[in-house]
Structure formats: structure tokens, C-alpha cells
């Protein structure tokens, strides 16, 4: 709980600084529009609905892949895994804590670390691939729009290159046995170092045996995915829906201010810019990319949104994509903790199995 308080203080400071910068240097925030968006119109509810659709489709992917891997999980456990992953992503730099904590939770409900790691790697490939596909489809239009903001265009291209490289590495890692054998052998040799002591040797031997067992589960799970093409297609389609609805969180914020004058063309303009912006936002160093993500969002959308509305839209988007998931995630983590399913960053995923 103490760590959560520290995270809360850091996030609070980042949020206050962001509000200050946007209000005084970003054209000003219209708090009446904020109040209208979340409490007096349907647009805020539409934004929350898009968020829920993104979570639900992601949870379906987890559920399908775990079941294909011959393990058991309920759909609501899959949904909680998604929410918990989002929560820990929001409180760790560059959202790096989300997937490890999802492995922890899945282990708590009976899915082995080997299987859950394989599932999450595969989901990451599908999710990033879906956003890349949207970005490529809209790349020409996005470049035209972002020409007016050269720094945003440069960031977009850097994000595109980084994202493409990571996807290529993950594909090799998940589908090429030689690649992940090399990686896991390095970890295995590191564990073997601790066999020098007679006192530590039994624990190291147990850990090595457990590690080898999980690698076999990882390998078998990855093999199941590659041998079932219909699963690949289904997971990718669900990833397109999940990532697409996540990208579309900005649409209600713009529509609520009656800025859609050209209809469908502006819809695709927003999608084009947000797809490219998301590729670089992922790598912002603050907890959950808070603050820096909003700054990058402000920069990217300055190409199509009038300056007097930009700060307000940025805050509305930040609340939808960050603070609402943060609050819901905290509630889920708290309820799970009260049920005895303790989820904390410092716990190793194999402790429970060792004790049993």
C-alpha cells in the first residue's frame, strides 16, 4: 500500500504540472467543456464504452489463447487480468509493469508462467501489429497532415521504426525455437551460477528444474498457436477491434465540441494521427506515459485541432485513457487483495507453486 501511495503522489504531481502547462501555455482549459463532456452529455459515456470494448476484446484474446494452450481460465478472470495489466502499466515507467503483473495474476488463478508468457507475447505481437497496420493504411494521409508540425512527424517516424523492430524481434522470439532457446539458455546459465554454494545449490537445482518445465510449456503453447491458422486470424481481428477502439478514444472529445465538419474524412484524419502518435507514446518514460503522452498528443493534434480547443481535448483524452482505467484498476486490485489474491510487483510468480 505504501508503494501505491508513492505512485499516487508522483502521478498527482505529474497531473498538476500537466494541467498548469496546458492551462497557461497551451491555449487554456475550458473547465465548462470538461464538465459538459463527462457529466452532461453522452460523449463521455461513449468514450468509456469504447474503453470497455477495448478491454473486453483483449480479455477474449487472453481467454481464447489460454484455453488453446490447454489451461483453464474463466472469462471474467481474463477481464480482470486485462484491467490489472492496465493498472500496473499506469503506475510504472513506459507502462513496463503491466504484462509482468498480468503473468503474476494469471499464475495466481492457475495459469503457469510459461503459458501466460507465451500468451502475452503473442497478444503483444497481434496488438502492435494491428496498430502498425492501421498506421500503414493511414500513413500517406498522416504525413500530409503532420507536415505542418515537423517535430511530430519526426517522432511519428521514430515510433514507427521502434515499433516495427520490436514486432520483428517478438515474432522471432515467439515462433523460432532457436531464438528463444538462446535467450532462455542465457537465463539458465545465470541461475546455474548460484550452484557454487552447498546451501544454495538445492534451491538453484529446484529453480532450474522449474525453469525448464516452464520453458517446455512456453514452447508447447507457442506451437499450438502457430499450428492453428484460424486462431491467428481470430486473435488478430480481435486485436484490431481492441486497438482500434483504444485509438478512437479521442473521437468523442473532438465530436463533443462540434469539430467534425467534413464527416468521414475527419474521422480518418483523427485515426491516422492517433495511430502514429500511439507508436511513440508507448515509449514515454513517465508512469503510464502520463504527462509526456498528453504533451505528445497535444503536439500531434495541433495539426488538425484549433488551438483554443486543444488543451481541453488533451485533458479529456488523458482522463479517458489514463485516469479512468487507473481508478477502475485500483478498485479491482484492492478487491482481489481482499479476496486473498495478493498482487504486488515484488512477488515472484513461482513462489505459490514452490509452497504447494
pLDDT tens column, 77-115: 999 999 998 888 888 777 777 788 888 888 888 888 888
- Residues 51 and 124: their CA atoms lie apart, in Å, by 18
Separation of first and last alpha carbons in the chain: 26
What is the 3-state composition of the chain as percent helix, strand, coil, each rounded to the nearest 5?
80, 0, 20
pLDDT value of position 201: 61
Q: Which residues pair with 93 in a beta bridge?
A: 287
pLDDT value of position 98: 79
pLDDT value of position 204: 64
pLDDT value of position 1: 57
Cβ neighbours for 233, distance < 8 A, ≥ 6 positions apart: none
pLDDT value of position 56: 95
- How do the domains of the chain map onto residue ranges? 2-355
- Residues 154 and 156: their CA atoms lie apart, in Å, by 5
> Which three three-digit cell numbers place residue 134?
492501421
Burial class for 94, CB neighbours closer than 10 Å (0-12, 13-18, 19+):
middle
User: How far, in whole angstroms, is CA 52 from its chain's centroid?
Assistant: 14
Tell me if 37 sits within 8 A of 253, measured CB to CB: yes
> Which three three-digit cell numbers place residue 19?
494541467
pLDDT value of position 45: 93
Q: Could you tell me where the DSSP H helices lie in 26-149?
A: 31-35, 43-68, 75-90, 98-108, 113-137, 139-146
Kindly give the confidence (pLDDT) of every residue in the chain, 356 residues in length, as a single tens digit, with 9 standing for 90 and above.
566 666 667 667 767 777 777 767 666 788 888 888 998 889 999 999 999 999 999 999 999 998 888 788 899 999 999 999 888 888 877 777 778 888 888 888 888 888 888 888 888 888 888 888 888 887 777 788 777 777 777 887 887 788 778 888 777 766 666 766 677 777 767 666 665 556 666 666 667 777 777 777 877 777 777 777 788 889 899 999 998 899 889 889 988 888 776 667 777 888 888 888 887 776 676 666 666 777 778 888 888 888 888 888 888 888 898 889 989 998 998 888 777 655 554 444 443 444 43
pTM (2 d.p.): 0.79
Amino acid at each position: 500500500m505504501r508503494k501505491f501511495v508513492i505512485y499516487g503522489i508522483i502521478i498527482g504531481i505529474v497531473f498538476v504540472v500537466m494541467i498548469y502547462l496546458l492551462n497557461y501555455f497551451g491555449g487554456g482549459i475550458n473547465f465548462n467543456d470538461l464538465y459538459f463532456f463527462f457529466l452532461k452529455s453522452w460523449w463521455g459515456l461513449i468514450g468509456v464504452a469504447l474503453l470497455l470494448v477495448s478491454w473486453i476484446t483483449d480479455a477474449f484474446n487472453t481467454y481464447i489463447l489460454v484455453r488453446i494452450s490447454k489451461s483453464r481460465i474463466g472469462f471474467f478472470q481474463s477481464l480482470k487480468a486485462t484491467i490489472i495489466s492496465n493498472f500496473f502499466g499506469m503506475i510504472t515507467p513506459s507502462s513496463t509493469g503491466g504484462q509482468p503483473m498480468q503473468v503474476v495474476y494469471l499464475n495466481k488463478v492457475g495459469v503457469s508462467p510459461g503459458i501466460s508468457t507465451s500468451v502475452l507475447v503473442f497478444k503483444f505481437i497481434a496488438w502492435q501489429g494491428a496498430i502498425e497496420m492501421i498506421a500503414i493504411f493511414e500513413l500517406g494521409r498522416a504525413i500530409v497532415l503532420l507536415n505542418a508540425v515537423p517535430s511530430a512527424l519526426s517522432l511519428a517516424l521514430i515510433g514507427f521504426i521502434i515499433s516495427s523492430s520490436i514486432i520483428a524481434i517478438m515474432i522471432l522470439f515467439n515462433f523460432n525455437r532457436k531464438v528463444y532457446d538462446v535467450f532462455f539458455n542465457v537465463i539458465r546459465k545465470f541461475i546455474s551460477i548460484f550452484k557454487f554454494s552447498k546451501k544454495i545449490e538445492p534451491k538453484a537445482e529446484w529453480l532450474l528444474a522449474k525453469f525448464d518445465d516452464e520453458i517446455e510449456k512456453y514452447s508447447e503453447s507457442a506451437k499450438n498457436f502457430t499450428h492453428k491458422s484460424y486462431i491467428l486470424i481470430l486473435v488478430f481481428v480481435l486485436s484490431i477491434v481492441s486497438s482500434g477502439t483504444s485509438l478512437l478514444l479521442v473521437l468523442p472529445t473532438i465530436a463533443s465540441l462540434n469539430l467534425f465538419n467534413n464527416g468521414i474524412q475527419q474521422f480518418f484524419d483523427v485515426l491516422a494521427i492517433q495511430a502514429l502518435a500511439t507508436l511513440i507514446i508507448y515509449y514515454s518514460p513517465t508512469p503510464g506515459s502520463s504527462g509526456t503522452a498528453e504533451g505528445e498528443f497535444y503536439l500531434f493534434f495541433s495539426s488538425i485541432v484549433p488551438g483554443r480547443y486543444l488543451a481541453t481535448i488533451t485533458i479529456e483524452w488523458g482522463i479517458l485513457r489514463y485516469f479512468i482505467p487507473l481508478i477502475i484498476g485500483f478498485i479491482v486490485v484492492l478487491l482481489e487483495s481482499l479476496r486473498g489474491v495478493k498482487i504486488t510487483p515484488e512477488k515472484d510468480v513461482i513462489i505459490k507453486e514452490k509452497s504447494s
